[in-house]
Amino acid sequence: MNFDFHIQHHIGRRIDKWHHYFEIYDKHFQRFQDEDIRVLEIGVDHGGSLQVWKKYFGHNVKIVGLDINPACAEYAEDQIEIVIGNQADTALLKSLGEFDIVIDDGSHRLQDQEASFEALWPATRGVYLIEDCHTRYPALRFNGPNTPVVFEHPWVVVVERAMRIIRGRPSRELRPDEAAL
């Protein structure tokens, strides 16, 4: 089911999302539904979106919510862990481990978005989405051999790991870097 369905049928904590984001979420997140994944949402607010992500992705998802407000700790529940900290604390971000999806709905300040991306992108296996880029998109730097795919939507930037699909048997012996794909 799509994100809009889950929002319309949500009973729980308050959610504050722009409606035009729902199509963007489905476009980039749908393939992760019912998979064994880890999701990080920076910016917990009232905790409602964490509950919707839990329903949207299914019973195999593990969600981490990061917020600077200590009161958000009360939003922890089954499948949802809350970490109290600042999204500009890159050492903290790097200590959180790997994620399949990162959603940055935190401070909305460019310098925080850029610092968070730089700390978390190397440990992001799938999609990194930055919300509320109302004034301009953050400058994102990429390190490493694989260039990601970047999508810019109104007020949202999405970065995805490039997916390579290989079928059949190789026509030659694979190099070590190719065999790991």
Q: Point out the residues that are catalytic.
A: 108
End-to-end CA distance of the chain: 30
Burial class (CB within 10 angstroms; exposed 0-12, middle 13-18, buried 19+) of 105: buried
Residues 69/46, Cβ–Cβ less than 8 Å: no
CA dihedral (96, 159, 142, 37) in degrees, to 10, reads 30
Residues 65/38, Cβ–Cβ less than 8 Å: no
To 10 degrees, what angle do helices 48-57 and 21-29 make?
A: 40
Structure tokens at 53: 């992500």
Structure tokens at 162: 């490039």
